[in-house]
Amino acid sequence: MAFLSSLNIPLSGMTAERLRMDIISQNVANADNVATTAEEAYKRQMVVFGEDKNFKSLLWTKLGSGEAHFHKYIQYKGVEVRRVVEDETPAEPVYDPTHPLADELGYVYESNVDVAVEQLDAIEASNMYDANLAVYEVVKSMAQKALNIGKG
């Protein structure tokens, strides 16, 4: 049922956005962490999304072979999380010689997490989740209506 496998697209998008929200939460939780060196400071994490290429490669393979009825092979995959990467923005040194983690010069290093940026990312992830949920509901409704065709 190729039609029902199209539900994988919004469902995979919702799953990806949920992971993104988890990473954003982790970033916010570590925003106030400090360290003795810039290398030890918490670095903001970011999610990299990608498209599952399996469908495209299968489509072009079947079209190239001259097979006209390839629809039975279609499995819509949707969105996938490719990796979680660290933001390379350097940690900010803050002069605080009384802090127990201060280095020999009196500096501690703050994480590179900007809570305002994380809040905007959280709003975007929430909106994308809602958009995928709306698409899922529409496709599900269409499938239910298709099943009721002919019932009188």
| Cβ(129)–Cβ(18) below 8 Å | yes
- 3-state helix/strand/coil string of the chain: CHHHHCCHHHHHHHHHHHHHHHHHHHHHHCCCCEECCCCCCCCCEEEEEEECCHHHHHHHHHHHCCCCCCHHHCCCCCEEEEEEEECCCCCEEEECCCCCCCCCCCEEEECCCCHHHHHHHHHHHHHHHHHHHHHHHHHHHHHHHHHCCCCC
Phi, psi dihedrals of residue 100, rounded to the nearest 5°? -65, -20
Residues 6+ apart with CB under 8 A from 15: 79
| Residue 70: band (very low, low, confident or very high) from pLDDT cuts 50, 70, 90 | very low
Q: Provide the pLDDT for residue 142.
A: 87
Residue 46 has pLDDT above 90, yes or no: yes
Question: For 139-145, what is the mean pLDDT?
Answer: 87
In this prediction the pTM is 0.79
Of residues 79 and 111, more confidently modeled: 111
Question: For 3-8, what is the mean pLDDT?
Answer: 74
Of residues 23 and 55, more confidently modeled: 23
Give the span between the Cα atoms of 152 and 134, in whole angstroms: 28
| Residue 80: band (very low, low, confident or very high) from pLDDT cuts 50, 70, 90 | confident
Q: Provide the pLDDT for residue 122.
A: 98
Residue 69 has pLDDT above 60, yes or no: no
Give the span between the Cα atoms of 82 and 78, in whole angstroms: 12
Q: What is the mean pLDDT of the chain?
A: 86
